Chains A and B, each alone.
Chain A
Amino acid sequence: MSALFARVVAHRLFWPVVMLLVLFTINLIAFPGFFTVTIRDGHLFGSLIDILRNGAPTLIIAIGMTLVIATRGIDLSVGAVCAISGAVACSIILGSPTPGSLSTVAVAVTVAMLIALVLGMWNGFLVAVVGVQPIIATLILMTAGRGIAMLITEGQILTVNSPPFKFLGSGFWFGIPIAVIIAAVVFAVAALVTRRTALGMFIESVGINPEASRQAGVRARGLLFVVYTFSAFCAAIAGLILTANTAAADANNTGLFIELDAILAVVIGGTSLAGGRYSLVGTLVGALVIQTLVTTVYTVGIPPIATMVFKAAVVTAVCLLQSPTTAEALRGFRQRLAIRAGKGVAAS
């Protein structure tokens, strides 16, 4: 029994899951109807659904980020790519004579995705071919990208009146939010492609030791290229969802700081920034923790001035609990407890 407990505690997802449950409990105390999910207007409605729906863009980006981080890289440009894809899609829809038609939206979404793929290849080119450090390579697009998005929107917030586009952000399919379905598909595809084939192992090997994996015959260059392109692809999907959510492209704010949330989700999920082993399930939990944190702030009514401090405290707690040093200390503490308990039994 205690051996099982020790194994559960030692699992790298133990503390993130505990934190998620703690946040759920706090919400439940502040607002007893937190777990209630009802059907309203033919779709699911409730706080949990909101968390899933609003967390979907962060999760999608975090999935791409997980693979990038597994190669010992990082992609800071995802927020800017979000803004660009939203801006491109909205300006195409606005420029078309039939903004409400499905084909217009299909064209807009396709073009936005293609542009994002090119941007991802640019990142991949800088990292894999030119050999620029990932943090610098993607910083270029992070800084320039918002400028590009601003140029596309001419500094305006582009409001579109297009039901099919809006559907992408706030629509439902069989009662489930479209954004959640898209996130689930991206997650499933990433998990299948990297875990059912050797691709995931190659990614990890490049992250652990690029030179050794090259000598073992892993083509690191092509792999990095693919990983950064996939990350931009994920960012574009998230950007389209975020933009469709309010039916407005806001070059300044769409996906602002989302790269940090995504990196945080990956780290909370137990994937090391030093590359190597990664966990997509961990990233999923990480993204849920972050979004639940946001919702908790609203439900509990934490004053806006204290919000940042609250978030920082929670994130610090998760990271500290997860760290190997803390795990070591906890193990020692438990052993001492067990010894003391053993002595107690012997004495009586």
Chain B
Amino acid sequence: MKKLIGIAAAGAMLVALAGCANGAGEASGPKPLDELVVGFSQVGSESGWRTANTKDIQAAFEEAGIELKFSDAQQKQENQIKAIRSYIQQQVDVIAFSPVVETGWDAVLNEAKAAGIPVVLTDRAVDSKDDSLYESFLGSDFVVEGEKAGAWALAEFADATEPVEIIQLEGTTGAAPAIDRAEGFAEVIAENPNLQVVASQTGDFTRAGGKQVTEALLKSNPGVDLIYAHNDDMGLGAIEAIEAAGLVPGVDIKILTIDAVKDGMQALADGKINYIVECSPLLGKQLVEIVEQINAGETPEKRIITEEGEFNQEQAIEALPDRQY
């Protein structure tokens, strides 16, 4: 292992030297890992998923012996921008963050670029024309997740002769997963004109939000057949609302969610949720690898996708005992 690091370091040094020769002078050569400082700005801890994500990243950096400065933006973009600015001032080696919303990042990312600090996006993307503002984007492909969810809905209601009414519980308005999961789902279900999204509202990725929206929408759309929630927590809220309306979740109204956190998997195993598309939060290791690559002067892939699966009830019962989050 030491030897490998040595070789990598030597290689990186060469790259750095070449860099110097070119007169760019941006890379100052690889640092030993214990001198590296990475600033990470997390969205918040709005769900069990996010907590697992935070823990995994913190654990991975501790194991690698890299110092991680962590800040929680509590779902607010201004907090996140403040955190990134403070990381720039502290001259950390790499900044990683999960953007709360997609837009409005150009200014602060340009500041990071001007300071020569590479930026890695985790889990969520930014909507910017200039993709030189970040080194790499590590995370799930939310459009694919939406497509997987749509594919299940297509198969589940393939025999339906009457219109299938769908309520969509969207994530936080403007957030990448909310936009992409809606888009992927809509594209796939367009294949069968019987599948109709009759109402779509934001539940802010929270249980309370999912519950309140479902309560209201169940009354104005009594014939609903399927609820598609952009995360497990909103689906769990929807279950409460359906039960309060005297209906049986998973039977009278089917529920399809994304994420696969423990509470969600438990509901799936209990038959209250019908299907979950996984969105894995365990990307700490991959993030450490990217940081090491950047430190070694290599260019990481621009887009790295996390590995994820899908679960039905039997698979959930099987996977549940090993679920960490």
List the one stretch of B111-119, B212-220, B310-318 in contact with chain A: B212-220
Tally of A-B Cβ pairs under 8 angstroms: 93
Which residues of chain B come closer than 8 Å to A30, judged between CB atoms? Answer: 220
> Would you call B190 an interface residue if the criterion is a C-beta within 8 Å of the partner chain's C-beta atoms?
no
Q: Are B216's CB and A298's CB within 8 A?
A: yes
> Would you call A170 an interface residue if the criterion is a C-beta within 8 Å of the partner chain's C-beta atoms?
yes
Q: Are B202's CB and A304's CB within 8 A?
A: yes
Cβ-defined partner of A33 (8 Å) among B45, B199, B204, B219: B219
Which residues of chain A come closer than 8 Å to B245, judged between CB atoms? Answer: 40, 45
Q: Are B220's CB and A253's CB within 8 A?
A: no
Q: Are B219's CB and A46's CB within 8 A?
A: yes
Q: 6 A-B pairs, CB-CB below 8 angstroms?
A: A31-B219, A54-B212, A54-B215, A157-B207, A250-B207, A253-B208
Q: With CB as the reference atom, state the residue of chain B lying closest to A146.
A: B74
List the one stretch of A198-206, A241-249, A281-289 in contact with chain B: A241-249
The CA of A150 and the CA of B50, in the complex, are separated in Å by: 14
Q: Are B208's CB and A246's CB within 8 A?
A: yes
The CA of A304 and the CA of B178, in the complex, are separated in Å by: 11
The CA of A88 and the CA of B245, in the complex, are separated in Å by: 30
Within 8 A of A (CB), among B230-247: 233, 236-237, 240, 244-246
Q: Give the shortest distance, in Å, between A247 (CB) and chain B (any CB).
A: 8
The CA of A33 and the CA of B220, in the complex, are separated in Å by: 8
Which residues of chain A come closer than 8 Å to B74, judged between CB atoms? Answer: 146, 252
> Would you call B173 an interface residue if the criterion is a C-beta within 8 Å of the partner chain's C-beta atoms?
yes
Q: Give the shortest distance, in Å, between B197 (CB) and chain A (any CB).
A: 11
Q: Are A253's CB and B201's CB within 8 A?
A: no
The CA of A121 and the CA of B75, in the complex, are separated in Å by: 30
The CA of A167 and the CA of B43, in the complex, are separated in Å by: 32
Q: Are A50's CB and B201's CB within 8 A?
A: no
Q: Are A253's CB and B244's CB within 8 A?
A: no
Q: Are A47's CB and B216's CB within 8 A?
A: yes
> Would you call B263 an interface residue if the criterion is a C-beta within 8 Å of the partner chain's C-beta atoms?
yes
Which residues of chain A come closer than 8 Å to B211, judged between CB atoms? Answer: 245-246
Within 8 A of B (CB), among A39-53: 40-41, 45-47, 50
> Would you call B194 an interface residue if the criterion is a C-beta within 8 Å of the partner chain's C-beta atoms?
no
Contacts A31-B220, A250-B206, A307-B202; A294 near B47 (Cβ below 8 A): no
Q: With CB as the reference atom, state the residue of chain B lying closest to A41.
A: B246
Size category of the A interface is 35 or more
Given A31-B219, A157-B263, A295-B216, 12 new contacts (CB under 8 A): A33-B220, A50-B215, A150-B72, A157-B48, A157-B207, A246-B208, A246-B240, A247-B240, A253-B206, A254-B208, A294-B212, A298-B220
> Would you call B93 an interface residue if the criterion is a C-beta within 8 Å of the partner chain's C-beta atoms?
no
User: Interface on B for A, CB 8 Å cutoff?
Assistant: 44-48, 51, 54, 72, 74-75, 170, 173-174, 199-202, 204, 206-208, 211-213, 215-217, 219-220, 233, 236-237, 240, 244-246, 263
Q: Are A298's CB and B207's CB within 8 A?
A: no
Q: Are A297's CB and B201's CB within 8 A?
A: yes
Q: Are A159's CB and B220's CB within 8 A?
A: no
Q: Give the shortest distance, in Å, between B312 (CB) and chain A (any CB).
A: 23
Q: Give the shortest distance, in Å, between B74 (CB) and chain A (any CB).
A: 6
Q: Give the shortest distance, in Å, between B58 (CB) and chain A (any CB).
A: 11
Contacts A252-B75, A299-B216; A155 near B207 (Cβ below 8 A): no
Q: Are A155's CB and B45's CB within 8 A?
A: yes
Which residues of chain A come closer than 8 Å to B244, judged between CB atoms? Answer: 45, 170
Q: With CB as the reference atom, state the residue of chain A lying closest to B207.
A: A246
Q: With CB as the reference atom, state the residue of chain B lying closest to A242.
A: B208
The CA of A30 and the CA of B47, in the complex, are separated in Å by: 33
Which residues of chain A come closer than 8 Å to B173, judged between CB atoms? Answer: 304-305, 307
Q: Are B199's CB and A156's CB within 8 A?
A: no
The CA of A236 and the CA of B212, in the complex, are separated in Å by: 21
The CA of A19 and the CA of B82, in the complex, are separated in Å by: 39
